[in-house]
Amino acid sequence: AIPLVIAISTGISARAGILVTDRLALERMRTVDTVLFDKTGTLTRGRPAVSEVLATGRADEDTVLGLAAAAEHDSEHPLAAAIVDAASERMKLPRATGFRSLTGRGVVATVDGKEIAVGGPSLLRHYEVEPPAELDRRTRALADRGATVLHVLRDGGVIGALALADEIRPESRQAVDALHAEGVRVVMITGDARNVAESVAAELGVDEVFAEVLPQDKDSAVARLQERGQRVAMVGDGVNDAPALARADVGIAIGAGTDVAIESAGVVLVSDDPRGVLAARRLSVASYRKMW
């Protein structure tokens, strides 16, 4: 009877868009009491767009946007693509040389003989600079409403900032509610700033947030939950998520995730719908109830 049950589950799972690469992971799924979601690209669409360009007295808005786009030109991050797109609509991009990516912080490159850096809060800490008070007031208000704020630095001084908005997937709220209804705790993890993370978390009703987590520290967050005795499924899409997916009791790669994420996961959700986590849990419950 056992092979038959597996065959049936496989048929159901294929129709639900669930690929099982590790059968033991699927089995463990029914015992999971905590789901840890990556924010960007998982709960949100991961396709940010520039919503505001803010300048200080040291440069105008087009200069801020153009220099940022030039520096981001060779970055593969979705934030970079959004900045390059926004600038290309308005101007011809200046050329950059000596591009470097500072993982989880931002980018640096040389444009017109000056060092241009673009990045989030940890980039400002890295350069030990604080934005002018007026700019800070405006960026805080944007971040409190859920926008990702990146500062633009020229030779180590803040010349402006960009706000980028990423849409929350409409299915995310339903996924969180349905997990709660089954008694599962929902936690969100992100490299994004704390106020942005809190805003998204409040909108979705998630129970706990890990924010400003550097890529190499995502798996420690999984370990921390496990040390509390929680059985954790981690859901993510990115290269950065792979070690956390491998560490979790069940690693779930979502959508058109990167190859590394898929290789590190025991379960792959073919669509990018976070409600697939529930489908996987129900499949696990149904399959293993029949078997044992």
Q: Which residue minimizes CB distance to ligand ADP?
A: 120
Nearer to ligand ADP, 241 or 273 (CB): 241
Q: 22, 38, 62, 166: which is the annotated catalytic residue? A: 38
**Is 38 part of the annotated catalytic residue set?**
yes
Query: Closest Cα partner for 232 from 21, 79, 15, 38?
Result: 38
CB of 194 to ligand ADP, least distance (A): 11
Q: Dig out the tokens for 287 from the structure.
A: 């399959």
Q: Which residues bind ligand ADP (CB under 6 A)?
A: 39-40, 72, 75, 77, 79-80, 104-107, 118-120, 148, 150, 190-192, 215, 238, 240
Nearest 5°: the CA angle 42, 44, 47 is 105
Residue 78, contacted partner among ligand ADP, Mg ion, none, CB below 5-8 A by kind: none
CB of 125 to Mg ion, least distance (A): 21
CB of 123 to ligand ADP, least distance (A): 7
CB of 39 to Mg ion, least distance (A): 7
Nearer to ligand ADP, 68 or 176 (CB): 68
Nearer to ligand ADP, 9 or 148 (CB): 148
Q: Which of residues 229-258 bind Mg ion (CB under 5 A)?
A: 238
Nearer to ligand ADP, 10 or 78 (CB): 78
Q: Do β-strands 49-55 and 157-165 pair in parallel, antiparallel, or remain unpaired?
A: antiparallel
Query: Closest Cα partner for 226 from 205, 263, 251?
Result: 251
Query: Closest Cα partner for 283 from 1, 99, 25?
Result: 25
Residue 160, contacted partner among Mg ion, ligand ADP, none, CB below 5-8 A by kind: none
DSSP string, 98-160: EEEEETTTEEEEEETTEEEEEE-HHHHHHHT----HHHHHHHHHHHHTT-EEEEEEETTEEEE
Q: Give how far the C-alpha of residue 275 lies from the chain's centroid of Cα atoms, to the nearest Å.
A: 17
Tokens 């999984």 identify what position?
222
Tokens 């690693």 identify what position?
251
Contacting positions for Mg ion (CB under 5 A): 38, 40-41, 238
Task: Report the catalytic residues.
Answer: 38
